[in-house]
Structure 1
Amino acid sequence: MAASRSPSHRNNRRSAGQRGRRRNGTARGSAGRRQVRVANQPINDGYGAIFKEGFEQGYQLGVQTGIQRYPVPFEGTSIVIPTYNQAALVQQCIETIKWNTPEPYEIIVVDNASTDGTAAYLQKVCGEVRSRVLDKNYGFSGAINVGLMMAKGRTIVLLNNDTIVTANWLTNMLRCLNSDERIGMVGPITNYISGSQLVKVPYKSLREMPEFARRNNRSDPSRWRQTDKLIGFCLLFRRELFEEVGYFDEGFEIGNYEDNDYSVRVQLLGKKLMIADDSFIHHIGSVSIKAVGDRMVKVNNQNEAFYNRKWPRIGELMESLKVHAVSRAMPAGTAALYPERIIVRGVGADYFWIEQGTRRLVNGVVNVPVVKVSHVDLLRWPIGEPIQAGEAERRWFGQSGADAADATTCTVKMPDGALYYIEGSTIRKLQGESALRGWSLHLKPEKTISSDQLSRLHVGLPIIAPPVMKQSL
């Protein structure tokens, strides 16, 4: 005779069924209500509001903790990768970083509004990669700037998404950078690039590439060499350099010439650019730029023209800084190459008067031009005492002060076309129309002075144009 099943056996069967449902995170209560399990404890629907409130409070606490700890640097390298419609390439790049980078690092990917599934991939790897998806294509400079704003590392690498890094790539670049505090940026060699970082490679396929890189990437300081330009496919520098030089110029649209511009700005501070020949990475080459298609030539021409307007007579500028360096140290930050007696604004609503190396909060309504600068630029000026808007405006026009000569602020155009800016008893050469208009100095009073008057003025540091900021940084 078949054994009968006891009620307890039937209850065990039900419990087993319930346990099965609980593995999926839900179960049904006695009234059939759906239960959610958190930390193996059921939360009935009636407690959903309490759970959501607690979750939100915990989330906000986490956000505040992150904000408070944001200024604390990360003792490692932030690797910033800009990308646009190249999901497979950025995934490949990230994988090779994981394989070949024993040093502490964080990966930051900034996507220029791709439409190929890049955002979905970044969401998938959010535990391993920090990322930001922009609302539109801000170009190479725009994406890099967002990454720089996010970076927390003591050192920073800007890396193209179409690169494959190799064994010791970062190790040897870091050794080069840390060998001399006068070194500003370091770049590797590669198989596909223009300029002096290009090397001829023997391999015919990617399968052969790692062995070539292994032989090449043996640490050798004798293979480090100085250059006057580094290409932006891979750049390594210290956080301090970024704080001194600032963000990339977003006036260079899509890509090209922004790395030339940054190389110039680094060297203006007396820093050296180095190529580490003992660090090789494979570069597929200009994939994002080529994706622009027929616009590529137009974009390149526009960026070249923008660069030439910004840096006319670059040789003369470098020589003038060398002359200044004989009697004084090179400028510690780009702010020394910015004008004074102007009003600037950062990411907030406050306006600041710049004079004597400080920024002074302007109280009241301002009726003169205000120049937008990044938060990094703004912080280079230490804070001073507040100033009333009316007084700042009078000083802007050179109409304040007991000594009329000391109050002078105006522009001067010499017969040879050279532009100058006079700050009291100091005259400073403007680096072309870009500097003149970038700081709204073309709206200042313009005067004509004689050679004799010019000779009595103290010659100050030249003035360069501010980088174009299309985002709030």
Structure 2
Amino acid sequence: MSKIAVALLNFNGKTHLENYLPSVVQFSNDHEVIVIDNGSTDDSIEFLQSHFPYIRVIAYAKNYGFCGGYNKALQEIDSEFVVLLNTDVQVSKGWIEPILKLMESDESLAAVQPKILDLKRKTHFEYAGAAGGYLDILGYPFCRGRVFHTIEKDIQQYQETQDVFWASGASLFVRKSAYLEAGGLDEDFFAHMEEIDLCWRFWNLGYKVKVCPESVIYHLGGGTLDKSSPKKTYLNFRNGLTILLKNEDRSDLFWKFPIRLALDWLAIIQFTILSGLPHGLAIIRAHFDFMRSIPRQLKKRKSSIRISQSNPRYGGLVIWDYFIRQKKTYRKIKP
């Protein structure tokens, strides 16, 4: 068994492979690099065969989504640790070693993310993960370095390696045995917020999740779905409700869930005004599809194992902090 494999999931991403795979190959220090192809119809596989014939390709005939593609591939990857790496990521020298050393030193550590900076603006954090993710009392996510759409400049203010509630799927180092024990990524999500659900299950199983800012990567963002896409709005709202229903403590779920639903309906007005009617309709469709999925999600909840409820979750309401109290950064919200 190899120590670590870097696994990139590709779907019609030849341009990203051309631009960013060279940095992955250059700075992965002879660790295995694998491209998982999710039924691409462009020239991705031909490009890999021509330019990177030494890279292992796991090719599927159809698109299984982010979750299904990785779940299938990890059954075929024989390594102790796997990096789930987006194809629109540029890595830097020494990005693997600090995290590998950290995970080898602590068997309770199931997942770690590096510090994620914006490839288009390298002085700033990137939206999808920044310096580690948190979840508030109603299940709204935010990050060290990014709260809603306020993205901080990286001035080394978040350099501590520490526990976080969730680690970003843009570059997610996982212990394969813990990943399989937790059941992998939930394929009902298809894409978006699936890593938050997985990390919550890691914490429930008694594992830990950390960020290691000594490791740095640069993420383009929007490589799968741009933030202006109503489909992304749909997935975020549907999956956000699913995460809460699947994982929230039963005694809290009864009062938190109605409040979350009400706030989401207020968001329909906001999104319609600011982003357009298709986004408002996407939230409505997300709610209806979520309602239809409730029996299936409750079965998952019943079958999930909860060894521990101890985790670094934020006990406040980030919407209140951000919009009412005007606390726009992680440090102001949670010192």
| TM-score with structure 2 setting the length | 0.63
User: Are 2:20 and 2:87, in contact at CA under 8 Å, matched by a contact in 1?
Assistant: yes
Counterpart of 2:17 (choices 90, 107, 128) is 90
- Displacement of 1:246 in angstroms is 2.8
* Partner residue, 2:282: none
User: Are 2:39 and 2:59, in contact at CA under 8 Å, matched by a contact in 1?
Assistant: yes
Report whether the alignment pairs 1:271 with 2:213: no
Report whether the alignment pairs 1:281 with 2:237: no
Question: How far apart are the structure 2 equivalents of 1:314 and 1:260?
Answer: 19
For residue 116 of structure 1, give the secondary structure of its aligned residue in structure 2: coil
* Partner residue, 2:288: none
User: Are 1:108 and 1:147, in contact at CA under 8 Å, matched by a contact in 2?
Assistant: no
Letter aligned with residue 133 of structure 1? A
Change in Cα spacing, 1:438 to 1:100, as seen in structure 2 (3 Å) is closer
> Deviations along 1:324-351, whole A, 9 cap, x unmatched?
xxxxxxxxxxxxxxxxxxxxxxxxxxxx
Question: How far apart are the structure 1 equivalents of 2:202 and 2:48?
Answer: 32
- Displacement of 1:436 in angstroms is 4.6
| TM-score with structure 1 setting the length | 0.45
Counterpart of 1:248 (choices 185, 201, 204) is 185
* Partner residue, 2:44: 118
Query: How do 1:346-361 and structure 2 match up within 5 A?
Result: none
Query: How do 1:337-416 and structure 2 match up within 5 A?
Result: none
Letter aligned with residue 234 of structure 1? S
Question: How far apart are the structure 2 equivalents of 1:436 and 1:307?
Answer: 11
* Partner residue, 2:69: 143
Counterpart of 1:193 (choices 127, 150, 168) is 127
Which protein is bigger by CA-based radius of gyration? 1
Letter aligned with residue 181 of structure 2? E
User: Are 2:25 and 2:33, in contact at CA under 8 Å, matched by a contact in 1?
Assistant: no
Question: How far apart are the structure 1 equivalents of 2:10 and 2:242?
Answer: 23
Q: Taking every aligned residue pair, what percent have the same amino acid on both sides?
A: 24
- Displacement of 1:118 in angstroms is 1.1
Question: How far apart are the structure 2 equivalents of 1:176 and 1:83?
Answer: 28
Question: How far apart are the structure 2 equivalents of 1:283 and 1:229?
Answer: 17
Question: How far apart are the structure 2 equivalents of 1:170 and 1:109?
Answer: 17
For residue 231 of structure 1, give the secondary structure of its aligned residue in structure 2: coil
* Partner residue, 1:233: 170
Question: How far apart are the structure 2 equivalents of 1:244 and 1:268?
Answer: 12
* Partner residue, 1:105: 31
User: Are 1:184 and 1:238, in contact at CA under 8 Å, matched by a contact in 2?
Assistant: yes
> Deviations along 1:321-379, whole A, 9 cap, x unmatched?
xxxxxxxxxxxxxxxxxxxxxxxxxxxxxxxxxxxxxxxxxxxxxxxxxxxxxxxxxxx
Question: How far apart are the structure 1 equivalents of 2:211 and 2:175?
Answer: 16
User: Are 1:83 and 1:288, in contact at CA under 8 Å, matched by a contact in 2?
Assistant: no
Change in Cα spacing, 1:194 to 1:94, as seen in structure 2 (3 Å) is closer
- Displacement of 1:272 in angstroms is 1.1
Change in Cα spacing, 1:315 to 1:288, as seen in structure 2 (3 Å) is farther
Letter aligned with residue 251 of structure 1? D
- Displacement of 1:145 in angstroms is 1.4
User: Are 1:190 and 1:280, in contact at CA under 8 Å, matched by a contact in 2?
Assistant: yes
Number of aligned positions between the proteins: 238
Question: How far apart are the structure 1 equivalents of 2:27 and 2:95?
Answer: 8
User: Are 1:110 and 1:146, in contact at CA under 8 Å, matched by a contact in 2?
Assistant: no
For residue 49 of structure 2, give the secondary structure of its aligned residue in structure 1: helix
Question: How far apart are the structure 2 equivalents of 1:195 and 1:132?
Answer: 27
For residue 215 of structure 2, give the secondary structure of its aligned residue in structure 1: strand
Question: How far apart are the structure 2 equivalents of 1:283 and 1:314?
Answer: 36
Query: How do 1:308-323 and structure 2 match up within 5 A?
Result: 308-313=244-249
Over the residues paired in the alignment, what is the CA RMSD in angstroms?
A: 3.0
Change in Cα spacing, 1:440 to 1:234, as seen in structure 2 (3 Å) is closer
Question: How far apart are the structure 2 equivalents of 1:178 and 1:279?
Answer: 15
Structure 2 residues without counterparts, runs of 5 or longer: 118-125, 132-143, 146-151, 254-293, 308-335
Question: How far apart are the structure 1 equivalents of 2:153 and 2:92?
Answer: 14
Counterpart of 2:53 (choices 114, 127, 136) is 127
For residue 94 of structure 1, give the secondary structure of its aligned residue in structure 2: helix
* Partner residue, 1:13: none
Letter aligned with residue 44 of structure 2? T
Counterpart of 2:197 (choices 233, 258, 261) is 261
* Partner residue, 1:387: none
* Partner residue, 2:327: none
Change in Cα spacing, 1:262 to 1:315, as seen in structure 2 (3 Å) is farther
Report whether the alignment pairs 1:300 with 2:243: no
Greater relative CO, 1 or 2 (CA 8 Å, sep 6+) = 2
* Partner residue, 2:104: 178
> Deviations along 1:164-213, whole A, 9 cap, x unmatched?
010110011112212322222111011212455265557xxxxxxxxx9x
* Partner residue, 1:80: 7
Question: How far apart are the structure 2 equivalents of 1:291 and 1:117?
Answer: 26
Question: How far apart are the structure 2 equivalents of 1:113 and 1:87?
Answer: 12
